[in-house]
Amino acid sequence: MEKKQTIGYLPDETPQIWKLLLYAVQQVIVMFPATVAVALITGFHISTTIFASGLATICFILVTKGQIPLYYGSSFSYIAAIGSLMASETLAGLTLNEKISIAQFGIIMSGLVSIAAGLIVNRFGRDSIEKVLPATVTGPIAMVIGLTLAKNAIADATSIAIDTAGTVSVAESQIATAKNMAWIISLVTLLATILFSVYLKGFLGQLPLILGPLAGVITAYIIQLTTGIDLFKVPPSAGADIFALPVFTLPKPSWFAVAAIMPIAIATIPESTAHVYQLDIYVNDLAKKKNSQKKYNIADKLGLNLIGDGIGDMVSGFVGGPAGTNYGENISAMAITKVFSVPVLFAASIIAMIIACFTPLINAIYSIPVAVIGGLEIYLFGAIAAQGIAIMLEKKVDLFSSKNIAVIATIMIIGLGGQYEFGGNIPFFGMQVPCVAGAAIFGIFLNLLLSIGTKKNKT
């Protein structure tokens, strides 16, 4: 019997141009909600943020010589720090662009932290970082990243808001019905995406993250026609010119901004490390199934990834975008579709930059109902958490070890507890510590503490 051919693209493979463009659009759709959300929450310009993500991704690909298939986007880890800085009394009275300029300096300086970590890995080897960030740390952190976003996914899945202010377009007597319609839209999106990813074969089987949301949008349109309930979002730039360059600002030196933003970069290092290990697992699994003779040692390029991540922060910060990291959502999309092609991500970057300059394109994507995005997020954020489990399975983590249980347990509870009790920022001796950063730092410290006096078993 003839063996079934595995469909997918490895990092150095390039699909046909029309397939490449569709795959690239899919990656843009995946990164768009979270990237725009960071801009909206922090007060940064939406078009600039989208442009910065594309430009930073291109720089990342060039720095890493196209060896690591990752997309750079705005990170949620920085939201509290940047948001607090923008709203601080120190910057009161300044214009929006002046506040952004000051935040930019802190973002640029935060890139130095990742670059320094990458240089350390390159100098002392991957083992040096694995002693600090073993699978018992990176696996739970990946799970925390996905699970802390569960509330956002469910909230979006039931949202009937048509703008960022939470405005609704239905009468008060119809709100309950509208919420039920939102559930229908989100569930159709979720189930369609899952069914497409599981049952569609060939080329169409690699486009579930376009086809699923498309089914949700069609459902929303049918609901609008039959019930009069309109859940499509109202673009903030409706009626603006077709072509408009993003608002670029220059960084203004401020040590206040450095103190507020730079330390958060520590939290993105284990997050970025976890993403690299995830990619290593999935890419090599695809290579094995495709009978490829090439070994993709992506995990061995951890230092290069961290350097690229830091340069991405500096590039994004320089043009006026928020700080970021490589995106778990895009990795989930690649894992689901088995499209790890770097040329696809390069094309996605260019498309993102074009979208940032054309108001109708931004409006078209922005107008997608929140419930559609919510349905997609349930799948993507859950996939991020599942990849954390995959890391521990791949590294054969002993889940009966008292040390491993202690590290995994504390990371999970601090990360999730900080999200659901304090909204993401844990009050600690007058500081507001992001829950992912707090969980990562405590897990790293506890792992090092419990490693004192122990010897690594050798087989």
Per-residue pLDDT of 60-116, as tens digits, reads 999 999 999 999 988 766 776 787 788 777 788 888 899 999 999 999 999 998 999
Q: What is the pLDDT of residue 382?
A: 85
Q: How sure is the predictor about 51, in pLDDT bands with cuts at 50, 70 and 90?
A: very high
Q: Is the sign of the CA dihedral 235, 240, 246, 251 positive or negative?
A: negative
pTM: 0.71
Q: How sure is the predictor about 456, in pLDDT bands with cuts at 50, 70 and 90?
A: low
Average pLDDT over residues 131-159: 85
Q: What is the pLDDT of residue 237?
A: 62
Closest CA to 256 of 34, 371, 101, 123: 101
Per-residue pLDDT of 318-362, as tens digits, reads 999 998 888 877 888 898 889 999 999 999 999 999 989 988 877
Per-residue pLDDT of 380-414, as tens digits, reads 788 878 878 887 887 788 999 999 999 999 999 99
Q: What is the pLDDT of residue 149?
A: 79
Is the per-residue pLDDT at 204 higher than 90? no
Average pLDDT over residues 146-152: 82
3-class secondary structure, 204: helix
Q: How sure is the predictor about 13, in pLDDT bands with cuts at 50, 70 and 90?
A: very high
Q: What is the pLDDT of residue 277?
A: 84
Name the percent of the chain lying above pLDDT 70. Answer: 93
Q: Is the sign of the CA dihedral 31, 367, 361, 17 positive or negative?
A: positive
DSSP 3-state percent helix, strand, coil across the chain (nearest 5):
70, 5, 25
Closest CA to 184 of 229, 244, 140: 229
Angle at 332 between CA 439 and CA 63, to 5 degrees: 85
Q: How far is CA 108 from CA 34, 38, 120, in A?
A: 21, 17, 19
Cα separation, 314 vs 381, whole angstroms: 27
Q: How far is CA 142 from CA 30, 42, 49, 313, 329, in A?
A: 18, 24, 24, 20, 12
